[in-house]
Amino acid sequence: MARLPVYHRALLTLAQRGERTVSSAELSVVTGVTAPTVRRDLSHLGSFGTRGTGYAVSQLLARVDRALGIDREWPVVVVGIGSLGRALARSGNFSARGLKVVALLDIDPQVVGSAVGGVAVEHVDRLEAVVKREEAAIAVLATPPGAAQSLADRLAAAGVRAILNLAPVVLRPALGVRVGTVDLAAELQVLAFYGARTEGPARTVTGAGRRRRQSS
Amino acid sequence: MARLPVYHRALLTLAQRGERTVSSAELSVVTGVTAPTVRRDLSHLGSFGTRGTGYAVSQLLARVDRALGIDREWPVVVVGIGSLGRALARSGNFSARGLKVVALLDIDPQVVGSAVGGVAVEHVDRLEAVVKREEAAIAVLATPPGAAQSLADRLAAAGVRAILNLAPVVLRPALGVRVGTVDLAAELQVLAFYGARTEGPARTVTGAGRRRRQSS
DNA sequence: ATATGTGAATCAATTCACAGCT
DNA sequence: AGCTGTGAATTGATTCACATAT
């Protein structure tokens, strides 16, 4: 469920603010998800709220955490240490969310050997060894588009189960591997499309883009 | 239509390769969109292919370009020149797609005055003036989460019609402004969720995330 | 009173399947 | 023979509305 991270963030804030309970209506306001959908989502999560009162924040947070697998830390390998890769490697945002950047890979000898955000950049030749060493199930591809497909294949072969592709290409994923692509330029193009045409009130589109499915 | 940029990229490649025509089946392979959906999308675009042959690449590309508004260049303002903002400012990816980063804003006096990718960083105090000067309809928010909402409001008031929000917060958009949020950490969390659980074959999820709608 | 959980209704998107053009 | 364009069917997600619990 793509909205789990949004609930997670919202609940975290509510918990810090000391709130004991939330109603689906309140969650609706802070997440931008309609109240019926919030209830459906949470019920789907197997969670029990109390009628007349709402949900117990801490209990609900615990459930969302478990569903998201935040009980443990997921090691993430970043491939391609250009400016985008570097930005990700530095992002303090990750650790709070069950993700930890444990290895950085690049092909440029100028970059290999340096450290970004406290992690050393290794040569992409060592990809297989690094994935194995870190037992990484997740990788981020922030390379030029031309290199992405073959690296995705190598990552898959090395045992990675999910890849976040930031290169502007459609990847053909290996069997058993999940690929999610985020193309920021495409995102902007879509916004330009809508934003420029709409003269009247508009709607918000959040979460990070529509999705297309391919078989693998 | 969220898939237009994908078609755009594919057609560009095909055109460069010298292909005169494409069938929906061929487009399906390179875009990862099923053939019936390709046909539906393109017909929806008002485009006429020729039966028995396919679509004329150049003609189709022209239509997609026009639909995406790529006939002109959209000026983009980037707010928040941290490592992510810097990565965007440098991304050569944009110019090829009808987007041009024309102004950079930050609050840090250390950063203000420097130049990134050939564009000077100005102080965020000048936001309104800069938006007006550049006649920018599109902005990217790459600030810490706490600052995002008020900046989104100011951008809207200054005349921006669409905002790409890269901060991990749900923004309440001003009336008539379109907000798209891309939260890379959330994206990874979702991948971790799927990737870690799937033992068998998996599906690909491309395009940049599911979307939630809020009223504005 | 208030708010959950969920069947039933609605809405949007995708896919099927085929008639019709080249 | 091959491939588009599109009605009809299907699938999936969202919303409604209400019985049910506190």
* pLDDT one-digit tens code per residue, A171-189: 999 999 999 999 999 999 9
pLDDT at A71: 82
Cα–Cα dist B212/A33, whole Å? 7
Chain D: positions less than 7 Å from a protein CB are: 1-7, 14-17, 20-22
Query: B4-16 vs A184-197: helix axis angle to the nearest 10?
Result: 120
The CATH number of B4-68, from 3.30.2320.20, 1.10.10.10, 3.10.20.340, 3.40.50.150, is 1.10.10.10
* Superfamily of segment(s) A74-184: NAD(P)-binding Rossmann-like Domain (3.40.50.720)
Contact B138 A198 (CB under 8 A): no
Query: Mean pLDDT over all residues of chain A?
Result: 91
| Distance of B186 CA from C4 C1′ (whole Å) | 27
Mutation target among A81, A205, A215, A216 for the B interface, most CBs of B within 10 A: A205
Mean pLDDT of A190-195: 83
Cα–Cα dist A74/A77, whole Å? 10
With CA atoms as reference, report the closest residue to B140 among A198, A191, A203. Answer: A191
Chain A, chain B: beta-carbon pairs less than 8 Å apart: 337
| Distance of B138 CA from D13 C1′ (whole Å) | 30
pLDDT at A12: 96
Cα–Cα dist B112/A165, whole Å? 31
User: Side-chain half-sphere of B58: how many Cα atoms within 13 Å?
Assistant: 5
pLDDT at B1: 87
Cα–Cα dist B203/A216, whole Å? 6
Closest by Cβ to B31, choosing from A170, A176, A188: A170
How would residue A211 be classed by pLDDT, with cut points 50, 70 and 90? very low
pLDDT at B197: 64
User: Side-chain half-sphere of A27: how many Cα atoms within 13 Å?
Assistant: 31
CB B93 within 8 A of CB A185: yes
CB B177 within 8 A of CB B216: yes
Which portions of chain B are predicted below pLDDT 50?
200-201, 207-216
Cα–Cα dist A50/B106, whole Å? 46
Contact B180 A215 (CB under 8 A): no
Mutation target among B83, B101, B172 for the A interface, most CBs of A within 10 A: B83
pLDDT at B210: 42
pLDDT at B116: 98
Residue type, A145: P
> Is A20 within 7 A of strand D by CB distance?
no
> What pLDDT, in 10s, does the model give residues A117-172?
999 999 999 999 999 999 999 999 999 999 999 999 999 999 999 999 999 999 99
DSSP-assigned beta bridge partners for residue A122: A105
Tell me the backbone φ, ψ of residue A132, rounded to 5 degrees.
-65, -50
3 state SS for chain B: CCCHHHHHHHHHHHHHCCCCEECHHHHHHHHCCCHHHHHHHHHHCCCCCECCCEEEHHHHHHHHHHHHCCCCCEEEEEECCCHHHHHHHHCCCCHHHCEEEEEEEECCCCCCCCEECCEEEEEHHHHHHHHHHHCCCEEEECCCHHHHHHHHHHHHHHCCCEEEECCCCCCCCCCCCEEEECCHHHHHHHHHHHHHHCCCCCCEEECCCCCEEECC
B51 touches chain A (CB under 8 A): no
Chain A, 70-99: which have a CB under 8 Å from a chain B CB?
A: 70, 74, 76, 82-84, 86-88, 90-91, 93-94, 97-99
A40 touches chain B (CB under 8 A): no
> Is B203 within 7 A of strand D by CB distance?
no
Residue type, B193: F
pLDDT at B216: 43
Cα–Cα dist B136/B103, whole Å? 9
Q: Is A200 helix (H, G, I), strand (E, B) or coil?
A: coil
> What pLDDT, in 10s, does the model give residues A25-62?
999 999 999 999 999 999 999 888 999 999 999 999 99
CB atoms within 10 A of CB A144: 14
Contact B138 A191 (CB under 8 A): yes
pLDDT at A1: 87
Could you give the C-alpha distances from A142 to A35, A171, B40, B96, B121, in angstroms and in order? Answer: 37, 13, 32, 18, 25
Q: Is A46 helix (H, G, I), strand (E, B) or coil?
A: coil
Residue ranges per structural domain of chain A: 4-68, 74-184
Q: Is the dihedral of CA A182, B151, A82, B5 positive or negative?
A: positive
Residues in reach of strand C, judged by a CB distance below 7 angstroms, are A 22-25, 35-36, 39-40, 42-43, 47-55, 210, 212-213; B 33-34, 36-37, 39-40, 50-53
Residue type, A5: P
Tell me the backbone φ, ψ of residue B175, rounded to 5 degrees.
-60, 130
pLDDT at B215: 33
> What pLDDT, in 10s, does the model give residues B162-199?
999 999 999 999 999 999 999 999 999 999 887 666 55
User: Side-chain half-sphere of A80: how many Cα atoms within 13 Å?
Assistant: 23
Chain A residues within an 8 Å CB radius of B82: 87
